[in-house]
Amino acid sequence: MAEITWMVGGPAGYGINASGEMFSRCFTRGGLNVFAYLEYPSLIRGGHNSYHIRVSDEPLFSQIKRIDLLVCLNKETFALHYENMSKNGGIIFDPEDFPIDIPNLGKENLMLFPVPLMKIVKDHEGIEIMRNTVALGASLALFDYPFNHLKDLICKQFKHKNEKIINLNVAMAKNGYNYIKNNFEVSQFPHKIALPENKEAQILLSGNEALSYGAMAAGCKFYCAYPMTPVSSMLTIFAKHEEEMNIVVKQPEDELAAILYAIGAGYTGIRALVATSGGGFALMNEALSLAGMIEVPLVVIEGQRPGPATGLPTWTGQADLQFLLHSGHDEFPKMIIAPGDVKEAYLYIQHAFNFAERYHLPVLVVSDKYLSEGLYSAPNFDDCKINIDRGPVVTEAELKNREGITEDYPRYQITTSGVSPRSLPGMKNARYIANSNEHDELGDIDESSEIRAKIHAKRLRKLETLAIELPDPVIYGQEKATISLIAWGSTKGPILEAMRWLEEEGVAINFIHPIFLHPFPTRAIKSFLTKAKKTLLIEGNYTAQLGQIIRQHTLMEPDYQLLKWDGRPFYPEEIYEKVKSLLT
Amino acid sequence: MPIELKQLQSKQFPTWCPGCGDYGIWMAIKQAMTQLDIPQENYVLVSGIGCGSKMPHWVRTFGLHTLHGRPAPVASGIKLANHKLTVIIIGGDGDSYGIGLGHFTHLMRRNYDLLYIVENNQVYGLTTGQTSPTSDEGYCSISTPHGVLETPINPISLSISAGATWVGRSFSGDIKHLTQMIMSGIQHKGTAFLDILQPCVTFNKKNTYQWYQERVHRLGEGEDHHKVTDKLAALKAAESWEKKINIGVYYEEKRPTYEEGLPQLKKGTLVEQSLEGIDVKSLLDRLK
């Protein structure tokens, strides 16, 4: 497996994000695999941003700690990251900006590539932000990677600007590229990645993009959200395509309104989507309970970030699982689905809409900053389209038969499955009232003990019916393992990466990754735990929230835990080390 | 074919106190519906929580009885999903000017084509008589035994300032006027806001039928030459309260509705759109 890792770092507002994406696409366009992760503080200017990108000819599941080539747009980047440099790793920096003194750092084998980034920019009448572009060109030269993809990407990015600007940017990249070729012996830099032959370009997308396009594929017609990291980009993605895809996008006054708009839209008969993070979801709790009560289909995405309160707005964590599980007052059926990567995000958001409309309940799809903003490459999603199932809606023929009937439509008819076919406003002979108060089969307020008992049970029965059809979680790795891992959501990536290294060393390991977390796959988890020799739970929170659910449902407990709550994602190195320590 | 009054009759009878102002509003809503040529199944009544918010139970149209303060965003979502529906929001003063004030104010500036009716009785009835955002200064209630210290919300000037394109006020003791106002509000293209003076006979012993009757004055009648397109005149008329309360249309302007501004809705409602054959492949290809 050939692979390289690259990082660009600098203050916010210096185009780190755009550079990282462009660098990544140079390789996905060549058919290579990429994983990219951006870290940044919650501010617009200053601070420290870094984009860490990993490229390989084999599929990638996550980032790793190692850096082969580090582009320092300020001195802080070097100070913060040089410790993770690989042997003979390279540093691109501007010697006019700051000097780097290697002997004092104990990292003698670092290779310095001083490039006068600012001078090159000035000599060609460019502006400061173009230093990135010079550095991109310089980086590709060191990796011995062809220049043409970068040129195409620059042309694409600036296609709405005039030719002068396009040419200027291409020239910046080319100057950086040539500066390296002319001033250094490139072959001495050992980290290389070859352009594969005849490989098709891959797509490169974030979890937010996967969720958005998956929702569009599922026929989502209304997207409503109040901006909140890490799901803010979904609002931009939907807005960008609203006309072409015939979708209405609304940014209302707050998260209370966002979910209520979606409830109104869902009640009227379209597929509506809301996305937020923990704090916004806290505001949505009241309305979530309403959706449960009036049995309106609804899909809510919760992109987790560390709290409490404002917490670490631009960092990652997995500490909202118990909150999601217990969201909304009293008891009502809801689903929790936690995809682990972009492919699952694209696929399971489609499932979410089908479940919401087939069972008339809110479906919570959980992401986190790591998945939502991490960039993953994929060949395509051609095998990820599922059939749209609108669920039980009263038919025209049934309504025709109701002509002359003076009683309202029994929207909340008591059924064995718990699901009652709905009618939609505008339908003749189909009137009912969707009622936040406890109600009878017609929706009218009824506080009798008999009706309350029956209707409440009817609602909750839907989840029991639904649980029967859910597939068992996927188990990765060996059938017979010396160690068995359990984790949920985006932690899947670093685990699969660590498993690759452990399997190469002959460790028999497996891993269960439940995507449907509520209703909980009790039987499958119990069977996995029973068969396992040694079990390790891995979660991005302090209190082992999945562990609590496992104990609640199976009366069993994983033997060991690897927990993390520092706002950073799991690194496969940490998982590898933990597993190794448990095997000795 | 116009709706007959009996078609709007639901099986239950309202649970309001005898003499409640809500009865007049109930009657006027139904009367207005019988005089407009809108199919019964196209009406959706969206209410909040409170005595008056039970209205959708007793008018036989599609109804959505939401949460306290929350009918406006729910109604907005309904309107965007199917803009051919006639959407009427009904809430009380607590619902609209208290807990739901944020939603109320934002709704006014958006100009969705719908009618927002507020049953304004200046007291919290369902919770047995606490102060409301429109309670008069000095008003004594079980939650303000020494009298209200705050200045009341002025819903008329608030809605005009926020950008409502039709603002009116009526009185539940004048069903004829009220019916007319509800009809005009429904017919107005854009967001119509109607504040209704509504006595709470059980808990509000100050703002009684008689109290309102002595003060209500119809805008534009007699010597009054109120022009509904004059925003400043409307705001001035909204200031009058203790001695004279103006009823009628305060303000009206023509402005494109929010729905008209959405090119996505030109071909029809979102509900009518087919979900067959949606292809996002070309969008994904752009991620290369």
Does the beta-carbon distance from A431 to B264 stay under 8 Å? no
| Within a domain: A313 | yes
* Domain B15-285 top-level CATH class: alpha beta
Q: What is the pLDDT of residue A167?
A: 95
Q: Do A433 and B65 touch (CB under 8 A)?
A: yes
Segment A249-275 mean pLDDT? 98
CB A73 within 8 Å of CB A9: yes
Q: Give B90: exposed, middle or buried? Use CB within 10 Å, 0-12, 13-18, 19+.
A: buried
Provide the pairing of β-strand A33-39 with A46-56: antiparallel
- Which tokens sit at A216? 């569009």
DSSP string for residues in A302-350? EEE---STT--TTS-----HHHHHT-SSS----EEE---SHHHHHHHHH
Q: Radius of gyration (Cα) for chain A, nearest Å?
A: 26
User: Has residue A397 got a pLDDT over 90?
Assistant: yes
Which residue, of A443, A469, A495, is where some domain finishes?
A469
Using an 8 Å CB-CB cutoff, list chain B residues near A408: 60
| Residues A261, A142 share a domain | no
Q: What's the pLDDT tens digit per position in A352-390?
A: 999 999 999 999 999 999 999 999 999 999 999 999 999
* Residue closest to B47 by CA, chosen among B76, B27, B67, B32: B67
Tell me, what's the ipTM? 0.98
Q: Is residue A391 part of a domain?
A: no
d(CA A314, CA A320): 15
Which pLDDT score is estimated for A381? Answer: 95
Q: Can you give the three-state secondary structure of A382-397, one letter per residue?
A: CCCCCCCCCCCECCHH
- The CATH number assigned to the domain holding A187 equals 3.40.920.10
pLDDT number for residue A114? 96
How far is the alpha carbon of B45 from chain A, nearest alpha carbon, in Å? Answer: 9
Q: Closest by alpha carbon to B9, among B66, B49, B61?
A: B61
Question: Which pLDDT score, from 0 to 100, does residue A412 have?
Answer: 98
A167 and A301 share one domain:
no
Report the Cα A413 to chain-centroid distance in Å.
38
What digits encode the pLDDT tens for the residues A309-351? 999 999 999 999 999 999 999 999 999 999 999 999 999 999 9
Cβ B288–A29 below 8 Å, yes or no?
Answer: yes
Residues of B in contact with A252 (CB under 8 A): 73, 76, 106
3-state SS record for chain B: CCCCHHHHECCCCCCCCCCCCHHHHHHHHHHHHHHCCCCHHHEEEEECCCCHHHHHHHECCEEEECCCCCHHHHHHHHHHHCCCCEEEEEEEHHHHHHHCHHHHHHHHHHCCCEEEEEEECCEECCCCCEECCCCCCCCCECCECCCCCCCCCCHHHHHHHHCCCEEEEEECCCHHHHHHHHHHHHHCCCEEEEEEECCCCCCCCCCCHHHHHCCEEECCCCCCCCCCCCHHHHHHHHHCCCCCEEEEEEEECCCCCCHHHCHHHCCCCCCCCCCCCCCCHHHHHCCC
Of A216, A518, A489, A205, the C-alpha closest to A349 is A216
Chain A residues with beta carbon closer than 8 angstroms to that of B101: none
pLDDT higher than 80, residue A49: yes
Last residue of a domain, one of A439, A469, A499: A469
What are phi and psi for residue A322, nearest 5 degrees? -65, -35
**Closest approach of B249 to chain A, Cα-based (Å):** 28
Mutation for testing the A interface, residue in B90, B101, B264, B266 having most A CBs under 10 Å: B264
Task: Specify the pairing of strand A298-304 against strand A362-368.
Answer: parallel
CA distance B220 to chain A (A): 36
Q: Which of A377, A163, A135, A190 is nearest to B287 (CA)?
A: A377
**What average pLDDT is seen over chain B?**
96
Distance, CA of A349 to CA of A60 (rounded, Å): 22
Q: Which sequence spans correspond to the domains of chain B?
A: 15-285
Show Cβ contacts of residue A281 under 8 Å, excluding neighbours closer than 6 positions. A255, A300, A302, A320, A323, A324, A327
Beta bridge partner(s), residue B21: none
Whether A246 has its CB under 8 Å from any CB of chain B: the answer is yes
Residue with token string 């909340």: A412
Which residues 105-134 on chain A approach chain B with CB closer than 8 angstroms? none
Q: Work out whether strand A3-12 and strand A67-72 pair parallel, antiparallel, or are unpaired.
A: parallel
Residue A541 · residue A307 · CB < 8 Å: no
> Which of these three, A181, A201, A221, is where a domain ends?
A201
| Strand A535-539 versus strand B43-47 pairing type | unpaired
User: Higher confidence at residue A104 or residue A262?
Assistant: A262
pLDDT of amino acid B2: 86
Per the structure block, which two tokens stand in for A117?
Answer: 């980034």
Please count the helices (runs of H) and the strands (runs of E) in chain A. Answer: 19, 21
Query: Do A78 and A218 sit in the same domain of this protein?
Result: no
Does pLDDT of A24 surpass 70?
Answer: yes
Q: β-strands A375-378, A33-39: how paired?
A: antiparallel
Name the residue in chain B with its Cα closest to that of A222: B81
Q: Which two tokens stand for residue A504?
A: 């190469």
Q: pLDDT at residue B224 above 90?
A: no
Residue A74 lies in a domain: yes
Check B73 against A209: CB less than 8 A apart. no
CA-based nearest residue in chain A for residue B271: A270
A150 and A281 within one domain: no
Domain check: are A140 and A215 in the same one? no
Closest Cα in chain A, distance from residue B66 (Å): 5
B206 min Cα distance to partner chain A (Å): 31
Q: How far is CA A156 from CA A89, A151, A175, A373, A434, in A?
A: 31, 9, 19, 22, 50
Could you tell me if residue A389 is inside a domain? Answer: no
The pLDDT tens digits for A189-205 are 999 998 898 899 999 99
d(CA A540, CA A318): 5
CA distance B122 to B130: 9
Q: Please check whether residues A502 and A439 belong to one and the same domain.
A: no
For residues A566-582, give the mean pLDDT. Answer: 98
Q: CB-based contact (8 Å) between A426 and chain B?
A: yes
Q: Residue A17 in contact with residue A73, Cβ under 8 Å? A: no
> pLDDT by residue (tens digit) across B111-130?
999 999 999 999 999 999 99
Question: Is the confidence at residue A105, as pLDDT, over 80?
Answer: no
Residue contact A269–B81, C-beta within 8 A: yes
Report the distance separating Cα A356 and Cα A361, nearest Å: 5
Show residues of chain A in contact with B278, CB under 8 Å: 216-217, 219, 245
Q: What pLDDT does residue A43 have? A: 80
Q: Same domain, yes or no, for A188 and A228?
A: no
Query: Within a domain: residue A387?
Result: no
Strands B130-131 and B123-124: antiparallel
Q: Give the lowest-confidence range in A108-112, A124-128, A180-184.
A: A108-112
Query: Which helix (H) or strand (E) is A107 found in, with range?
Result: none
One domain, residues A31 and A99: yes
**Is B80 within 8 Å of A217 when comparing Cβ atoms?**
no
Q: How many beta-carbon contacts under 8 Å exist across A and B?
A: 189
Rounded Cα distance between B129 and B203, Å, is 5
In this predicted structure, what is the pLDDT of residue A107? 65
Q: What is the model's pLDDT at position A106?
A: 64
What is the SS3 assignment for A569?
coil
Domain count along chain A: 4
| Order of strands, sheet of A248-250, starting from the edge strand that comes earlier in the sequence | A248-250, A220-224, A271-276, A298-304, A362-368, A335-337, A516-518
Please state the three-class secondary structure of A408-476 as a single string.
Answer: CCCCCCCCCCCCCCECCCCCCCCCCEEECCCECCCCCECCCHHHHHHHHHHHHHHHHHHHHHCCCCEEE
| Kind plus residue range of the DSSP H or E element containing A204 | strand A203-206
Selection from B108, B110, B82, B109 nearest residue B265 by Cα: B82
Digit-coded pLDDT (tens) for A490-527: 999 999 999 999 999 999 999 999 999 999 999 999 99
pLDDT of residue A469: 97
Judge contact between B77 and B105, C-beta under 8 A.
no
- Cα separation, A163 vs A171, in Å, equals 12
pLDDT category, B178, cuts 50, 70, 90?
very high
Confidence of residue A44 (pLDDT cuts 50, 70, 90): confident
Same-domain status, A183 and A125: yes
B168 and B193 Cβ atoms separated by less than 8 Å: yes
Residue B172 phi, psi dihedral angles, 5° rounding? -70, -15
Spatial neighbors of A327 by CB under 8 A, at least 6 apart, are A281, A285, A288, A334, A364
- Domain of residue A422 covers 396-469
Do residues A197 and A210 share a domain?
no
Q: With an 8 Å Cβ cutoff, are B287 and A219 in contact?
A: no
**One-letter amino acid of A100:** I
**Which of A272, A407, A444 faces B57 most closely, judged by CB atoms?**
A444
Phi, psi of B31 (to 5 degrees): -60, -45
Residues A416-471: tens digit of each pLDDT: 999 999 999 999 999 999 999 999 999 999 999 999 999 999 999 999 999 999 99
CATH number at residue A567: 3.40.50.920
pLDDT, mean over chain A: 96
Helix (H) or strand (E) holding A203: strand A203-206
Determine what percent of chain A is predicted with pLDDT higher than 70. 99
Q: Based on the fold, state whether residues A183 and A261 are members of the same structural domain.
A: no
Residue A147's Cβ-side half-sphere holds a number of Cα atoms within 13 Å equal to 19
A568 touches A545 (CB < 8 A): no
Provide the β-strand partners of residue B59. B9
* CB of A26 less than 8 A from some CB of B: no
pLDDT of amino acid A103: 64
Residue A32: predicted pLDDT:
97
Q: Name, in order, each residue with C-beta under 8 angstroms of B285's C-beta and a sequence gap of 6 or more.
A: A203
Question: Quick one: closest CA in B to A221, which residue?
Answer: B270
* Same domain, residue pair A196 and A79: yes
- The CA-atom distances, in angstroms, between A257 and each of B65, B72, B109, B267 are 16, 8, 15, 26
Nearest to B64 among A241, A253, A267 (CB): A267
Exposure string of B11-44, with b = 16+ CB inside 10 Å and e = fewer, is eeebebeeebbbbbbbebbbbbbeeeebebbbbb
Confidence of residue B1 (pLDDT cuts 50, 70, 90): confident
Q: Do the Cβ atoms of B114 and B257 come closer than 8 Å? A: no
Q: Which residues contact B80 (CB under 8 A, 6 or more apart)?
A: A222, A248, A250, A261, A264, A265, B112, B259, B262, B270
- B128-167 tens-digit pLDDT: 999 999 999 999 999 999 999 999 999 999 999 999 999 9
Would residue A384 count as lying in a domain?
no
A203: contact with B, CB 8 A cutoff: yes
Rounded to whole angstroms, what are the CA distances from A22 to A9, A34, A153, B94? 14, 12, 7, 53
